[in-house]
Amino acid sequence: ESERVAVLGLGAMGRALAGALLAAGRPVTVWNRTAGKADELVARGAREAASASEAIVGTDLAVVCLLDDSTVRDTLGPIAGELSGRTIVNLTSGSPQQARDQAAWVAAHGAAYLDGGILAVPPTVGTPGAFLLYSGARDLFARVEQAVAPLGRPLWVGEDHGHAALYDIAALSGMYGLSAGAHHAVALVAAVGGDVEAFKRDVLLPWLEQMMPFSAGGAEASETIPEEYNAAMQATGLQTMIDASSEVGVADELAGHLHASLWAMRRALAVSG
């Protein structure tokens, strides 16, 4: 039989994680601070623990997915004495330093620790596109890789416990930048009475798909901006875009990504002289 996995935290994400493990036929124990969130999982075969302590003691591998870092402290702190010899995989979003501090705290109580970041939303957990970042000792990752694989493709990003959190934040930043840009794009088209759905389908999505391989990276280093789209030309173009946005009455706050790109182009020009 596969190793039993405990899932601590049954928010939207914790429930999706536990559900993906169950769907893969893995034995799962679940726990949540507030009762009532486990019913559907229990109906699908999960065992519900009455306390975090009971969940941890019944398994060697615990996946923790709570609101934030302080919540993880509040949950694990009282059961520190029961952690020895176990493995904690913390998928709660946090900062790199919070991950390193958790790793040190968990190690001080005799347990192994991997920090993780989930690059999926609850409906995509366990589907082919989903993947999760992990950092911590590579041999530990190798030991738990199969156990966590049903959540999404596992990708190890380094020994430093802070790397998964940082790469996760970096990926989210890329996504939020893209969504901010898309929000602004739609606001512009709507401001002049354009057909927003047709714009998204026929212009924005095909354009983004074409440009994604080119648009990430290098904006701060002049030598990486090739002549085909040189920094002076881009700075001029970005200023035109910002001005046009004001011209049609779209809030300048929605154009923050254009200001950031303009800053990067000006900086690249200053560096290149």
Distance CA 263, CA 70 (A): 35
CB of 37 to ligand NDP, least distance (A): 6
Our CB check for ligand NDP shows the closer of 114 and 188 to be 114
Kindly give the interhelix angle for 231-247 and 256-272, rounded to the nearest 10 degrees.
Answer: 150
Our CB check for ligand NDP shows the closer of 10 and 144 to be 10
Query: Cα 90 to the chain's mean position, in Å?
Result: 13
Our finding on whether 92 is near ligand NDP (CB under 6 A) is yes
Task: Considering only the stretches 76-84, 96-104, 118-126, 145-153, report the one whose residues sit in contact with ligand NDP under the rule CB under 6 A.
Answer: 118-126
Our finding on whether 96 is near ligand NDP (CB under 6 A) is no
Our finding on whether 121 is near ligand NDP (CB under 6 A) is yes
Asked whether 67 and 11 are in contact (CB, 8 A), the reply is yes
- CA dist 15 to 19, 126, 158, 186, 192, Å? 6, 12, 27, 34, 43
Among 118, 148, 186, 238, binds ligand NDP (CB under 6 A): 118
CB of 9 to ligand NDP, least distance (A): 4
Distance CA 10, CA 12 (A): 6
User: With CB under 6 A, what is the number of residues at the site for ligand NDP?
Assistant: 22
6-45 positions binding ligand NDP, by CB under 6 A = 9-14, 32-34, 37
CB of 176 to ligand NDP, least distance (A): 13
Our CB check for ligand NDP shows the closer of 90 and 234 to be 90
- Nearest residue by C-beta to ligand NDP? 11
x-or-dash pattern for ligand NDP, window 145-184, by CB under 6 A?
A: ----------------------------------------
- Please report, in angstroms and rounded to a whole number, the separation of the first and last CA atoms in the chain: 65
Distance CA 42, CA 98 (A): 32
Paired with 48 in beta bridges are: 30
61-80 positions binding ligand NDP, by CB under 6 A = 65-68, 71, 74-75
Our finding on whether 271 is near ligand NDP (CB under 6 A) is no
Cα pseudo-dihedral 92, 95, 98, 103, rounded to 10: 70
Asked whether 156 and 135 are in contact (CB, 8 A), the reply is yes
Asked whether 96 and 165 are in contact (CB, 8 A), the reply is yes
Q: State the DSSP code for 43.
A: H
Binding site for ligand NDP (CB under 6 A): 9-14, 32-34, 37, 65-68, 71, 74-75, 92-93, 118, 121-122
